[in-house]
Structure 1
């Protein structure tokens, strides 16, 4: 009898937990989406078959490249294909997304300017494949390193695009076909620099923007960066620090790495950045750089240190008052001198 009651309790418990599982675990339904595939057709100058374009160029000699675009969906799709220039995103990754990119003074050639066709639009029927051509016009002179970009392929979407199952097909798909060229076989090593350091704000938080720049026409991959910021002359007290892994940078590009200043007051004066970095190819960098914080920067970017801001404003007003008093005193002295000269003359 005891055994039967035990089995009954187990059965009731199993049924109860089965009911809870069925109640709280949602059922997943498959939804059809836009499927697109792209395949590069390598030119005869292709260096390696890696799933993307990487070929050698001769000065001023155009090369035609083609890609096969396949619509894998059971409805027609319109694709926009646009050549872009590689740059480094704000998160420290190589990206090819079209639009405004951070400028870099060391970037000599932009891939999007070397491709003749600026944008092509192709409509593919259901399960249809088409070949699309682009012409790459390399620089008229030999160039060092690589020029990196991509063919950025994006599906157009329409809110009224509904299939036979009344499923709204307004999802967008973006594909990237990297495009890299070179004219020399000589290896180029990356060069990491810090061209600018400046205070800034992220919400209500004070930060220090450290601009990291790759000044050479080659990529940086698998980079680890460690840095710290302290007031010059007081290296024992770290005011901000950062440690980031697996960063990558496009040729001749830059991005801003942020240091959270925490609750530390951003006082006017000279600060120091101490930075060390290395990448997966064995390159190492050590950068030591001073930067200044002005009274104006301290007032604008301080992290809610209102007492310090009030002190700075009061100091600024005192300086203005002193300048005014000095100006008035000099003006009074000048007037007295003019009056004496006039009296002597009479």
Structure 2
């Protein structure tokens, strides 16, 4: 018991040390960027407590936003400034990327179409500060809700030092535009557009395309998903998630990961029951996985169990060897039992003979 407690204490200590070490590494990486970015709140800022831009716009009018970029080291850093739109990641978070394929069809005049950066690239060094100006021109026609995105200040990759894949480090300053300060996290519409089987990131998946077509955020969304075989009513797969957040006018693929198991063919119904503090949604979609689709997806997936030929051969040899050993031991045991039986009989006969002689 004492050994178990001691082992548990060592394990907890190791986990604590690893967490502290990780935290220090991230902090060091952030400082090594060589610059910091601070948004300067404009007079049109709707909420002064927000650390990002949340600005009021007037149809057709242009306003200028300012960012202070300060160098934190002597060496020069080259930076690029650009805008991105808010999308919903497959993990159910609001993300800011340049992935044009993720832009939803309901998003008209996105943030990127409203922005114009005065100086798209700058160089800062030797602890200097520079102010970057970004113009925001509102759509000519009034719009409802909000438009959401971010202004990115990113390091320009050094082509001489860059080898293979690289990670882009950057600052992202959130930008929300609105014509008023009304609540924008109470989206009321959620759609299940499609359900299908597919390969994603090398994994076998069933993907459900969920859409928020409104110019508002759907916040703190809990989803219970059930995949049912249509003919038998048997539940094939279940998944529950919590605290998902959907960007305005966005869509994403809700993932049902099949892991190492083969994806089965058949006709199915996907049911999704979602709710937050404001609304409840009960969505359903029928879909089919053909034999050909299932075979192709299972064959292409990199996440599957494959037994090497040599392992099969070794397993067979081990099984045969085990059987031979077991047979040998069984034969020897029977042989010894017979010998002991003969010896016991001989002893009994000898004992009887001695008793007769005494009489």
TM-score past 0.5 threshold: yes
Instruction: Judge which range, 145-154 or 212-221, deviates more.
Output: 212-221
Return structure 1 stretches of 4+ with deviation > 6 angstroms.
27-32
Instruction: List per-residue Cα deviations over 1:227-276 (Å, max 9, x = no partner).
Output: 010112433x211111122322211111111113464662333x111111
Larger CA Rg, structure 1 vs 2: 2
1:107 — aligned with what? 107
1:205–1:78 Cα change, 3 Å: closer
Whether 1:197 and 2:195 are equivalent positions in the alignment is yes
Whether 1:297 and 2:293 are equivalent positions in the alignment is yes
Q: What does residue range 171-320 of structure 1 map to in structure 2 within 5 Å? A: 173-187=169-183, 189-190=186-187, 191-202=189-200, 206-235=204-233, 237-261=234-258, 263=261, 266-269=264-267, 271-279=268-276, 281-301=277-297
2:44 — aligned with what? 45
Shift of 1:99: 4.2
SS at match of 2:117: coil
Q: Is the 8 A contact 2:192 2:211 kept in 1?
A: yes
1:302–1:101 Cα change, 3 Å: closer
1:288–1:135 Cα change, 3 Å: same
Could you say which structure has the higher helix fraction?
2
User: Residues of 2 paired with 1:153 and 1:221: CA distance?
Assistant: 27
User: Residues of 2 paired with 1:171 and 1:272: CA distance?
Assistant: 40
2:355 — aligned with what? none
Matched length: 269
Q: Is the 8 A contact 1:227 1:276 kept in 2?
A: yes
Instruction: Judge which range, 287-296 or 245-254, deviates more.
Output: 287-296
Instruction: List per-residue Cα deviations over 1:69-114 (Å, max 9, x = no partner).
Output: 1111232111111111111123221111234341322111211111
Q: What does residue range 73-84 of structure 1 map to in structure 2 within 5 Å? A: 73-84=73-84
1:227–1:152 Cα change, 3 Å: same
SS at match of 1:96: strand
1:205–1:81 Cα change, 3 Å: closer
User: Residues of 2 paired with 1:34 and 1:136: CA distance?
Assistant: 27
User: Residues of 2 paired with 1:119 and 1:208: CA distance?
Assistant: 44
Shift of 1:215: 1.2
Shift of 1:37: 1.4
Shift of 1:136: 0.6
1:62 — aligned with what? 62
Q: Is the 8 A contact 2:110 2:147 kept in 1?
A: yes
TM-score, length basis structure 2: 0.67
Instruction: List per-residue Cα deviations over 1:303-325 (Å, max 9, x = no partner).
Output: 79xxxxxxxxxxxxxxxxxxxxx
- Structure 1 residue runs of 5 or longer lacking an equivalent are 1-20, 162-169, 305-346
- Structure 2 residue runs of 5 or longer lacking an equivalent are 1-13, 301-359
Q: Is the 8 A contact 1:82 1:151 kept in 2?
A: yes
TM-score, length basis structure 1: 0.69
SS at match of 2:248: coil
Q: Is the 8 A contact 2:56 2:181 kept in 1?
A: no
SS at match of 2:100: coil
User: Residues of 2 paired with 1:78 and 1:62: CA distance?
Assistant: 28
2:315 — aligned with what? none
User: Residues of 2 paired with 1:303 and 1:171: CA distance?
Assistant: 31
RMSD: 3.0
Q: Is the 8 A contact 1:68 1:130 kept in 2?
A: yes
